[in-house]
A = this chain, B = another copy of it.
Amino acid sequence: MALGVGVIGAGIVGGGVVNLLLEQVDTLKRNTGLDIKLTHICEINQDNLKEFNLDGVTVTDDASVLNDSPDVQVVCELIGGEEPARTFMLNALNAGKNVVTANKKLLAMHGPELCEAAIANNVELRYEAAVAGCIPIIKAIREGLAANNITAAYGILNGTCNYILSRMTYEGMDFDTVLKQAQALGFAETPPDLDVNGDDTAHKCQVIASLISHSAIPYDDIPVEGITDITASDIADALEMGYLIKLLAVVRDLGDEVDARVHPMLVPTDHQLASVRNEFNAVYVKSDSADATMYYGKGAGRMPTASAVVADIIDIARRGNETAPPPFRYTNKKTVRDLGKNVGQFYLRLTTKDQTGVLGELGSILGKHDVSIASFNQKDPHGDNRVHLVMVTHDAQESKLRAALTEIDALTDIVLEPTHVLRILKEDD
């Protein structure tokens, strides 16, 4: 059984896929029993192809050549971004080609359109590499846990952010210093916005939320906060109280609503997610029969990502002429839950004047809004009549906490900076 593959884009990830398909023929044959053959590469930058021996492979700068070839059963879209990737994928699906992609942004923006085109043409759309690189998390959710109702997933999905937060944690460095080092070492892009602002994580959050809820979650409805406001003292204070700070994608299926959001979170040091360090990714999944499972590995990089792309190609080849129903459908219409409805514990960092009565005033405002304090720490004053107060609340409703903080931050005679708020992951989440 032979399967022809055309690759669009031979850059970082695409080049890795070309490398695997050319160099690992024996491994693929042994692992799968299948003959998988790279037939076409569509690439406009010939420099990207210099390293490969492309005898027998058709090289083109016109993606429609792949769609017109009867030798191609799978088209891999690996150029990234919205256009022309979207048009290339739709054209391939409509030409009856199975499509494999690593394009999280496109899935987050246009997932339903692409999914419907695949179903209409009775072909597969696969995107294991779009979320958490080499980690088979899409496979785990769609297949490994197929007998489960998945109730929640918590993901560390951006290696750059996790690397930065890890270095801040273990070396006590501040955000800007670590970012500059990470950029110098090639661990962070310049500019770093897509990563550190949380948008990249949010793209992946959308994909996971849609899969778990079987619902087309509108990307723009997902609340996103990045890590740029996290300070070295937040991290030190959190550690003192038994928490690490991680940028998490949170997805909870709550029936009619899906709680889908991206923000930094305090994670208990003995929670499984706390052990995920440096550039590694992980997804922690809660489901009704299997209970807690976690999937860990490299979320980016040429070969880890290519590993996931080729796994998708193999799965398509293994299924042959598929008569089974499509592996995924949007069968529900759920909305994204308003953040204000969530109940949980919060970490608050307040900057106030160092004078008597401040704490009483803050406490009474919080109390009026049903927010009570579980622990409290006054940090050494800086000698400039300012103090940092670090508080952890008991369970509180977020809308009530926000109302309290609006009042508190308006006390500009004693509260000197807007209060910094971080959410806390529960130990049994």
A139:B147 contact, CB within 8 angstroms: no
Q: Which residues of the partner chain B approach A310 to less than 8 Å between Cβ atoms?
A: 146-147
| Bound complex: CA A48 to CA B180 (Å) | 63
B292:A30 contact, CB within 8 angstroms: no
Instruction: Indicate with 1 or 0, residue by residue over A137-174, a CB within 8 angstroms of chain B CB atoms.
Output: 00110111111110000000000000000000000000
* Interface size grouping (class) on chain A: 35 or more
Q: Which residues of the partner chain B approach A34 to less than 8 Å between Cβ atoms?
A: 324-325
> Does A306 belong to the interface (CB within 8 Å)?
yes
> Does A327 belong to the interface (CB within 8 Å)?
yes
B294:A296 contact, CB within 8 angstroms: yes
Of the listed stretches A49-57, A200-208, A297-305, chain B binds A297-305
Q: Which residues of the partner chain B approach A291 to less than 8 Å between Cβ atoms?
A: 134, 297-298, 303-304
Given contacts A143-B311, A147-B306, A306-B147, contact A33 B293 (CB under 8 A): no
A144:B311 contact, CB within 8 angstroms: yes
| Bound complex: CA A288 to CA B301 (Å) | 13
A315:B134 contact, CB within 8 angstroms: no
How distant is A317 from chain B, measured CB to nearest CB, in Å?
7
Could you say which of B20, B290, B311, B322 contacts A134, with CB atoms under 8 Å apart? Answer: B290
How distant is A216 from chain B, measured CB to nearest CB, in Å?
15
| Bound complex: CA A311 to CA B144 (Å) | 6
Contacts from A to B (Cβ < 8 Å): 1, 16, 20, 24, 27-28, 30-34, 128, 134-136, 139-140, 142-149, 214, 270, 272, 274-275, 277, 280, 287-298, 303-304, 306-308, 310-311, 314-315, 317-327, 329, 331
